[in-house]
Structure 1
């Protein structure tokens, strides 16, 4: 492989924390990054060039493509049809493929794609009308209504157990939804899969994800499951990757139901569940994404040691700048790392950063990571907003 000097430029639709961490990973590889984001001085702008514009502005997306060798995206509100049009006009490749974004951005299409490939998913039915939502509640004895488009961090997902409440709940998620059976799952798992050139795929170690109020609070890797469950999860993620088009990393969220693995959702981009890989894996998910979309060789995915990550969430009511206290405690802790996303407003439940702990005293990468998780959560709790 040869690299032209100066190095390639990666264009990223979206300039939030994922775009920022992509740029941080790209820099040591000699890759420049330019992001498109409507927010002035967005988080990624501190480490990358920014085009200020709406994500669905054809002129702005075209400018991004003209400045880049390859386009990618860090947010699923990117417009897949526009990306395909700009790719055709400019010749700039887009990875993952816009059609993959179109499928994964529609929860009904995503479930239909997975079920059609015999990949296990919760039972589901379309719920585009109050009658359909009511029937789903009766059929499943309670259902999770998920907006077909636009939901994230629990937004657009609402459980409903009373048929009389179905119409009202459907309206709260936007009026067009997919209804899934309410699962009594043991835990949630996830893995970052990656597709490279010539359909090469790799899967990072399976990780347990910890949610509360529908918000991802932290991860622990290895997960607190037996080896057989890990292997089943890895096999499912491998099957998922075979159904997707284009290069890049994909966050695959899973349910563990008494050892049975079901796919919850797919994100065609780096994912919060993979943040632990920055310190805890041989190659981070962000470097892996840069390598993949550029068509470069993929890096190794092995876990270096038991690793846990805990998200720092905003808790300031007023949308204004806040001061974070307790940073010294985290920086003074051995094996701990702090990542700050550079967001200006510390709104309640907004992801502002994360703390990662790698257990360097563990007797191997597959040892129980409970100690790392406890430390990460304690360090997270030592951080306060004022």
Structure 2
């Protein structure tokens, strides 16, 4: 089996007879209820359809991105108990594509209606607060950068004394796509940095890394699978590009999978987990963050792997056997961010450049408003021959990303 791709059974005990019994599955007929109807919900619905699985989403935005491909949309807030109950009544299993889902409501309504929730709401409780997340992972012996809670600016200055400058100040809740992450270069910057967070915060040692990598991992019914290791490029803390396979050594790659499997052991419930990691110059692997759902750094799997992260998530939450995560071909991904100075109607131009390029694929997320820096879609470029290198594929993806525009 390739070093960058693992699939194995986790026995409930050493006795193989204790593995989960395979049941007879039927399709069509199953319905998955998804809290959140953004681009992830849209791509979940696209992946579910060939399996005969219907998707119903709950999202407060009328005609949300997932609405055009999902079976139906319930228009309600992510913490609306009545809306979540309606979703549960229509579904065989509940899941979520956004961490704003209310874990208390999911847990209570899941129990009252008998509708299983995956991943478990307790996982959301861990993920919501980055400080709680880091503490629980550290307690599980998972390698993380040095960190501490922050009550005031003096705590940041103390961290600089202990960790050296710069340090990374993070909002404990609500941050995503770089929002809520503030590098603090010196003690003099501590007060302004904390004020910009405007809420509970934590601080981490700044990691000098060789590259940022991620493992898209799947926890099934007694079964675990991992996709090939991806290498990620962030700009201003926002994911811009992913290439697969990562340009990591075999030793660092194997270590990344070890950490990912340990992370899955600490998580509760079936589904896809996006596990972001730092690879240091000496090959050490440190955990950055976890997303208990399909992840932007796994979008390449739609074209680049035998089965996508979205198909795997649908299979996993339903308790179905997982698909193959083997690499089809080296793949590069470039996110399409709105290159506008102020909000405007979303209209992507020059898409013919993508469509006429061999091996290139365009993914449009269905968002109606282009806001500065907002993720609107992505482009993937897959190798069409054995000589394709990830460097060449990435350069093509960058050229295509530069070619398309939201400007008139």
Cα distance in 2, alignment partners of residues 212 and 360 from structure 1: 28
2:345 counterpart SS class: coil
RMSD: 1.3
Q: Residue 147 of structure 1: CA displacement? A: 0.8
2:105 to 70, 82, 86: 82
Please, which moves more after superposition, 5-14 or 279-288? 5-14
Kept in 2: contact 1:307–1:359 (CA 8 A): yes
Kept in 1: contact 2:383–2:389 (CA 8 A): no
1:155 counterpart SS class: coil
Which residue pairs with 2:218 in the alignment? Answer: 194
Kept in 1: contact 2:231–2:246 (CA 8 A): yes
Q: Does 1:301 align with 2:322?
A: no
Which residue pairs with 1:350 in the alignment? Answer: 374
Which residue pairs with 1:58 in the alignment? Answer: 81
Q: Residue 106 of structure 1: CA displacement? A: 1.1
Q: Residue 318 of structure 1: CA displacement? A: 3.3
Kept in 2: contact 1:254–1:261 (CA 8 A): yes
Which residue pairs with 1:381 in the alignment? Answer: 402
Q: Does 1:70 align with 2:93?
A: yes
- CA distance 1:74–1:101, change in 2 (3 Å): same
Q: Does 1:213 align with 2:265?
A: no
Which residue pairs with 1:91 in the alignment? Answer: 114
Q: Residue 327 of structure 1: CA displacement? A: 1.0
2:328 counterpart SS class: coil
Which residue pairs with 1:108 in the alignment? Answer: 131
1:26 counterpart SS class: helix
Q: Residue 283 of structure 1: CA displacement? A: 0.7
Task: Please list every run of at least 4 consecutive aligned residues from structure 1 whose deviation after the TM superposition is greater than 4 angstroms.
Answer: none
Q: Does 1:42 align with 2:74?
A: no
1:39 counterpart SS class: coil
Runs of at least 5 residues in structure 2 that lack an aligned partner in the other structure = 1-22
Q: Residue 287 of structure 1: CA displacement? A: 0.2
TM-score by length of 2: 0.91
Runs of at least 5 residues in structure 1 that lack an aligned partner in the other structure = none
Kept in 2: contact 1:128–1:175 (CA 8 A): no
1:325 counterpart SS class: coil
Q: Does 1:156 align with 2:177?
A: no
Which residue pairs with 1:265 in the alignment? Answer: 289
Cα distance in 2, alignment partners of residues 161 and 320 from structure 1: 35
Cα distance in 1, alignment partners of residues 237 and 329 from structure 2: 28
Kept in 2: contact 1:141–1:161 (CA 8 A): no
Q: Residue 303 of structure 1: CA displacement? A: 0.8
Please, which moves more after superposition, 259-268 or 235-244? 235-244
Cα distance in 1, alignment partners of residues 261 and 377 from structure 2: 29
Cα distance in 1, alignment partners of residues 196 and 24 from structure 2: 52
Kept in 2: contact 1:37–1:50 (CA 8 A): yes
Q: Does 1:226 align with 2:221?
A: no
Cα distance in 2, alignment partners of residues 53 and 151 from structure 1: 22
Kept in 2: contact 1:224–1:368 (CA 8 A): no
Q: Residue 6 of structure 1: CA displacement? A: 4.5
1:172 to 196, 204, 207: 196
Which residue pairs with 2:30 in the alignment? Answer: 8
Kept in 2: contact 1:306–1:362 (CA 8 A): no
Q: Residue 322 of structure 1: CA displacement? A: 3.4
Q: Residue 236 of structure 1: CA displacement? A: 1.1
Which residue pairs with 2:10 in the alignment? Answer: none
Kept in 2: contact 1:310–1:356 (CA 8 A): yes
Q: Residue 111 of structure 1: CA displacement? A: 0.7
Cα distance in 2, alignment partners of residues 126 and 371 from structure 1: 43
TM-score by length of 1: 0.96
Report the number of matched residues.
382
Kept in 1: contact 2:346–2:367 (CA 8 A): no
Kept in 1: contact 2:211–2:279 (CA 8 A): yes
Which residue pairs with 1:320 in the alignment? Answer: 344
Please, which moves more after superposition, 305-314 or 218-227? 218-227
Cα distance in 1, alignment partners of residues 85 and 191 from structure 2: 41
